Structure 1
Amino acid sequence: MEKVNSHSFRGIAEMKTSLKQRSKEIYQITIPTPFLVGPINTFLIRGDALTLVDTGPKTDDALTQMRNKLAECNVRTSDIDIVVLTHHHPDHIGLVQEFLPNAKLVGHPKLRPWLERDEQFLLNTRNYFYNFYEEHGVPMNWIEEMDRIHNNYLKYTTKVPLDLEVSEGDTIDGLPHWRVIETPGHAQSHISLIHEQDGTAIAGDHLIAHISSNAIIEAPYWNEVERPKTLIQYREALKKCLHTSFIYSGHGDGIENPRELIEERLKGMEEKAQVFKRKMGEEPIQVFDLSKKLYPKIYQKQTALTFSETLGHLDLLEEQGEVTSFSENDRTYYRKT
């Protein structure tokens, strides 16, 4: 991608506090979402190119807020040169259409099939989960409801092409001193940006101060055979951010001491895994049944998330040799070693 012309920020001095200025080149814009996670933070960066990190969902409220907050900087959606997308979830990519055709869309290769609505990829993913959930004890009516909810999320996104794929260690023309790191776990497509001079990071949903990011299970991509073990991935990706000095998060407040929070989260996962182990009992158990034990009320409203949480901690316990899995009659069970 060729380097694009820079834009000046006119009227910065008159910016209202609702568009939070965190540094001389980064401006936080908070956008409403219809999701339980609440508002999302997007970030305007003044580099050689005018760059936006994430967009908010495809809703009228989100678009109005985005336009209003950009206008406080005398910036229009058509002024944006680059849109960097941290991952494929609807609250982060939904408004991309509003920045086209002027902006170049940048993201991880695994963002592409979601952004471009690759029909074969989406069908393969859907079929995989029908089989996978059934294998792990989820009743078919629950699977169908999770599928309905997942498909409903697509209305908050737009089908558009990805212009530039980036991965570990890449830089982006127009964003001097910023480097891409891959931070999978919450999403396989997840990337973060780290400023090489001061250790600042813009990390999407990789680390959130007030809640733990869920390591959401995903189907294998393309020619992959095994599903990604997302909680184990997430732990390793968190360690890559231990050296950061400040993290701009996709939700809630910025994180002043990332190392402290990361170490707390890593320890919390270990402790939570032991809670899952105790709840398993002495007989073999399936993921869905263990999820119901741990989340007797929440699992009914957030089945996919509680299932992911349960499976992730079983993966961790299995990696540590504390549980083992086995198949019987096309069903997968876990038991303590």
Structure 2
Amino acid sequence: MKTTMIQRSKEIYQITIPTPFLVGPVNTYLIKGDALTLVDTGPKTAEAREQMENSLAELNLSFKDIELVVLTHHHPDHVGLIGEFLPNAKIAGHLKLKPWLEKDEQFYSRTRQFFYRFYREHGVPESWVREMDRSQNYYMDFTSPASVDFILEEGDLIDGLPGWRVLETPGHAQSHLSLIREKDGTMVAGDHLIEHISSNAIIEAPYFNETERPKTLLQYREALKKCINASLIFSGHGSMIRKPKELIEERIHAMDKKAQVFKRKMGEDPIQVFSLCQKMYPEIYRKQTALTFSETLGHLDLLEERGEVKAERSEGEIYYMKA
């Protein structure tokens, strides 16, 4: 198999790993700090394992040489191969990574129950809800259980990676964090910002003692603004981003424009999220129901925050209408 390993700087190497998902290959990053550190791993597949093994071998390294794995977020294409680095490596990530990585069955059950109720009250037919649940379970097959050794949060410095600081960057995932090297503004940003596609702000259930679902698109916009002074961003997919400020401003502007498209598509009568999703994405919603639903609800959250739409509950279901 052809390996894909690129030296990005004196101490940063990009290792690109194949995935079986529509998003395509995922970028992981080897950083030679005081500890030999890998940021993200790729999914749990034979192809991903072989690619990682071959790429490490180009540097005369093997799985057991990695001392620290930092996981940007819990999605399978970023964490699935973690088992190959145990028990030698320690694992660091956000607190909200823990229940996913540790395969907490109680957490899984609460999340599934939340989404069953949530999707139904927003107009998703029960058969579609079951299919979305099945799809979620399919993705989890590409992960391995592991424990998080070090919890990272906003502003933390990481033992073994001098000069790098943690930024919490929720939106695409509630567990998402990025790393920034303070001396030059270089970021390793996972899926927070990708040059060739806009990251989806995926709806998630409340965590731990939270009572409300996170409004992920609103979170994502604020987290983007935190990164606007970065000088260079290494992304989880695709090319490095050499002009982050321009791309961030472009993405925020695109959200504003798209919100107005959703508003026009609503029409004048009350409408549920799923119906609006179907109007906005008449073909793609069938294959990517959860993502297009998240996109629709996120823009309704934005419009609601601005006072342009309002939500009302009627007979256990939620409808949106222009304010």
Q: For the residues of structure 2 that align with 1:247 and 1:145, how far apart are their CA atoms?
A: 36
Q: What secondary structure, in the 3-state scheme, does the structure 2 residue paired with 1:37 have?
A: coil
- Partner residue of 1:234 out of 198, 201, 220: 220
Identity among equivalent positions (%) equals: 69
- Partner residue of 2:160 out of 168, 171, 174: 174
* 1:226 counterpart letter in structure 2: E
* 1:193 counterpart letter in structure 2: L
Q: For the residues of structure 2 that align with 1:202 and 1:304, how far apart are their CA atoms?
A: 27
Partner of 1:5: none
Paired residues for 1:79-158 under 5 Å: 79-158=65-144
Partner of 2:145: 159
Q: What secondary structure, in the 3-state scheme, does the structure 2 residue paired with 1:152 have?
A: helix
Residue 192 (str. 1) matches residue 175 (str. 2) = no
Residue 267 (str. 1) matches residue 253 (str. 2) = yes
* 1:19 counterpart letter in structure 2: M
Cα 1:102–1:17 shift into 2, 3 Å: closer
Q: What secondary structure, in the 3-state scheme, does the structure 2 residue paired with 1:156 have?
A: coil
Partner of 1:209: 195
Displacement of 1:21 in angstroms is 1.1
Q: For the residues of structure 2 that align with 1:119 and 1:265, how far apart are their CA atoms?
A: 36
TM-score by length of 1: 0.95
* 1:320 counterpart letter in structure 2: R
Moved over 6 A (4+): none
Displacement of 1:19 in angstroms is 1.2
TM-score by length of 2: 0.99
Displacement of 1:18 in angstroms is 3.2
Residue 56 (str. 1) matches residue 42 (str. 2) = yes
Return 5+ residue gaps in structure 1 as ranges: 1-15
Deviations 1:134-157 (A, max 9, x none): 000000000000000000111100
Q: For the residues of structure 2 that align with 1:164 and 1:187, how far apart are their CA atoms?
A: 19
**Number of residue pairs aligned between Structure 1 and Structure 2:** 322
Deviations 1:111-152 (A, max 9, x none): 000000111111000000000000000000000000000001
Displacement of 1:17 in angstroms is 8.6
Partner of 2:291: 305
Deviations 1:191-218 (A, max 9, x none): 0000010000000000000000000000
Partner of 1:68: 54
Deviations 1:238-272 (A, max 9, x none): 00000000000000000000000000000000000
Q: For the residues of structure 1 that align with 2:80 and 2:66, how far apart are their CA atoms?
A: 16
Displacement of 1:309 in angstroms is 0.2
